[in-house]
Structure 1
Amino acid sequence: MKAIVYRDYGSPDVLRCEEIEKPIPGDNEVLIRVRAASVNPLDWKLMKGGPFPVRVLLGLGKPKVKRPGVDVAGVVEAIGRKGTQFKPGDAVFGTCRGAFAEYAISASVLGMKSVLVKKPDNVTFEQAASVPVAALTALQGLRDKGRIQPGQSVLVNGAAGGVGTFAVQIAKVLGANVTGVCGAGNVDMVRSIGADRVIDYTREDFTTGKQRYDVLLDCVGNHSLFACRRILNRTGRLVLIGAPSDASVTALLARTIGALVLSLFPGRKMCFFIAKVNSEDLTVLSDLMATGKIKAVIDKRYRLSDTAGAFRYAEKGHARGKVVVTVEDGDGHEARLRPSDAITPGSER
């Protein structure tokens, strides 16, 4: 099969599309014929080796994980000897190991549990592949950490990104009044997915305004904790899920510890959050997609052979929504979208 492989740490130039042996599923595993996969910051950060403490786990000299990709959508090709809830031919989406390939295994990656659920019939493979990590982060960050209640005011900083576009829609589903923060070129798009108000960060600093919020979901991390805390209501919550791509380990630790310390004071609470993959929440998201309550915002699509191009674009940090890699099916057809299946603000590759 064809698969994207890297044997050294570095830029997307280390990615190669190679012919490798088709994997065989273990006893409790599923072999997926991949139709689409999406790029997450996790993918290109692992490819670069991450900071030194992380590289100890990844492999000091050479990477232990040589096949990138976690988010996947495809068709069950085979199941292990002990069987699963799936059968060959089922359309599924979720997380896996080595999603940028013609076939992938439902195996955990560096402690991240692999979870699959059935794909709704009215949702495309591209759209489904956009969901797992980004939409789970948005759902759990808002519902579990932000504890949103109907009628509350929510601000999403980074509303045009992969997590942010899902967060705007999910916050509306949960009954919130939503303000999105994004650049000038994305204002109309963010408004179109449900934001009640949109702030163009090139014209206005949301931390200096008079508006106060019950929940601030920060997907960017480009303002100080004190500035963010100032615009929260007395019982407001700041949920941190993002940081500048050039932030050092020291800066990240300082921000995390600072959030914990500030949360010790009465009133406003802050927390740094990483999503946990589980079938229950993926099923919730599947239902929301099936009923049209949320849709993926897909910026660009790339073919498997140009996965390196997808990584180059995604790591610039300006993608509107998700970047997707499509894989041809057995008949040579790609998992293409119909115009109504997703919001597609960008061009195709």
Structure 2
Amino acid sequence: MAVPSPRRNEVLLRVSTAGVSRGVWHMMTGLPRLVRVASGLRRPRQNVPGMDVCGEVVAVGSEVSSLQLGQRVFGIARGSFAEYAVAKASHLAPAPVELDDTEAGVLAESGLTALQALDRGGIDGTVRPGTRVLIIGASGGVGSLAVQIAALRGADVTAVCGDSKRNLVESLGAARTIDYRSEDALAQGERYDVILDGAGGASLNALRGALVPRGTLIFVGNESGGTWTGGYGRPFAYQLRMAWGGQRFVNLLVRTNSADLVRLADLASQGGLRPHVHASYPLSGVPTALEELASGAVAGKIAIHVNEQENR
């Protein structure tokens, strides 16, 4: 394919690393079918998949002044599974020197989700010491970053994950871990100020029962549900049921913006935030990477090294 050209508010990147995510999988497969409203009814509108990116700016649009040629950046780019990709300048930020290209290339999508979810729960840097946070799906791309960010901000984190991923999640900052296969995290008698639900399998009554009276439940997505709505239907029903009362329900809609990307970069530079990279593949390994992601065995993120020919 021809090298794309940036519009006036965009830049062209020479891609170093891209990240594999559930969002990419949904857009490529058109499942659940509801996503086809945005991604294309019969086939993907975007010919090249990929969103997470780290790369070098090689051309800038006429209205771009925030980024310069040769700058190393990370963020969200259309079609990042390619040697070159275009991105809005407002969807990028300078990559922190503390992260290598692999780490920076998998940070943006899951990092923005984790950051904005915790912000909505009040875990925004002004958190009270001892604020109790339960993170369900703590070993995933979003969950593993949410554990780190919440811990860095002083929260007391309990993480739900598989037993094989317990050591990893504890190393990220979780004070306690619960194996979802052998224990019901919501039936422990504990009450939490914030519950971040990245799995979506629990009933609303059970989730509310584990919240303090004025606690916040944050829904960040799941892979349950049917062919048409998938995991999108349940949170809207939850939102209606929690419209009254002291407890809050947040159905997160992530906003891509350079200000929050800069905040992620600062957390990496000053707080030691690091995405956990489960595996890396060359560009030709994208199908294998997507299959591995869909299997549910991935802890953290999978990276795609665009110019490498051998699996790492």
Tell me which interval the TM-score lies in, with the shorter structure as reference length. over 0.9
Over 3 Å counting, the alpha-carbon distance change for 1:236 and 1:248 in structure 2 is farther
**Conserved? CA contact 2:194–2:218, under 8 Å:** yes
Residue 186 of structure 1: aligned partner: 165
Whether 2:206 is the aligned partner of 1:230: answer no
Contact 2:13 2:55 in 1 (8 A): yes
Equivalent residue, structure 1, for 2:142: 163
Q: Does the CA contact (< 8 Å) of 2:198 and 2:222 recur in 1?
A: yes
Secondary structure of the residue aligned to 2:194 is: strand
Higher mean alpha-carbon deviation, 178-187 vs 122-131, is at 122-131
Asked whether the 8 Å contact 1:259–1:271 carries over to 2, the reply is no
- What 5-or-longer segments of structure 1 have no aligned partner? 1-19, 108-112, 329-333, 337-347
CA 248–62 in structure 1, closer or farther in 2 if over 3 Å, else same: closer
2:94 aligned partner? 118
1:222-258 deviations in whole A, cap 9, x for unaligned?
1111111111111111101122245444564542233
- Asked whether 1:99 is paired with 2:80, we answer yes
Deviates further, 51-60 or 231-240: 51-60
The Cα offsets for residues 255-297 of structure 1, whole Å up to 9 and x where unpaired, read as: 2233222322322121211211111111010011112431110
CA RMSD in angstroms comes to 2.0
What count of residue pairs does the alignment treat as equivalent? 308
TM-score, with structure 1 as normaliser: 0.83
Which residue among 274, 293, 308 is the counterpart of 2:253? Answer: 274
Q: Compare 224-233 and 268-277 and name the one that shifted more.
A: 268-277
Q: CA deviation at 1:306?
A: 1.2
The whole-number CA distance in structure 1 between the counterparts of 2:25 and 2:198 is 17
Name the CA distance, whole Å, in 2 between partners of 1:305 and 1:116: 25
Contact 2:223–2:230 (CA under 8 A) maintained in structure 1? no
210-219 or 200-209, larger mean C-alpha shift: 200-209
Matched, 1:293 2:272: yes
Give SS of 1:31's match: strand
The residue matched to 2:189 in structure 1 has which SS?
A: coil
Q: Deviations over 1:29-49 (max 9, x none)?
A: 111010000011110111111
Indicate the SS of the match to 1:295.
coil
Q: 2:52 aligned to 48, 71, 88, which one?
A: 71
Whichever residue aligns with residue 17 of structure 2, its letter is A
Shift of 1:307: 1.1
Alignment correspondent of 2:193: 214
Partner residue of 1:146 out of 113, 121, 133: 121
The amino acid of 1:100's aligned partner reads F
Q: Does the 8 Å CA contact 1:161/1:318 hold for their aligned counterparts?
A: no
Distance in 2 (alpha carbons) for counterparts of 1:275 and 1:326: 26
Residues 98 and 104, structure 1, Cα contact 8 Å, conserved in 2: yes
Question: Map of 1:13-28 to 2, 5 A cutoff?
Answer: 20-28=1-9
CA displacement, residues 175-206 of structure 1 (integer Å, 9 cap, x when unaligned) = 11000000010001100111000111122111
Q: Distance in 1 between matches of 2:69 and 2:60?
A: 7
Q: Please give the alpha-carbon distance, in whole angstroms, between the structure 2 residues aligned to 1:85 and 1:116.
A: 10
Query: Residue 83 and residue 235 in structure 1: after superposition, are their counterparts in 2 closer, same or farther (change >3 A)?
Result: closer
CA contact (8 A) 1:29 1:84 kept: no
- Structure 2 gap ranges (5+): none
Q: How many Å separate the matches in 2 of 1:236 and 1:274?
A: 19
Q: Which residue of 1 aligns with 2:112?
A: 136
Distance 2:236 2:55 in 1: 40
1: distance between equivalents of 2:177 and 2:134? 9
Percent identity, aligned pairs only? 39
Q: Secondary structure at the match of 1:123?
A: coil
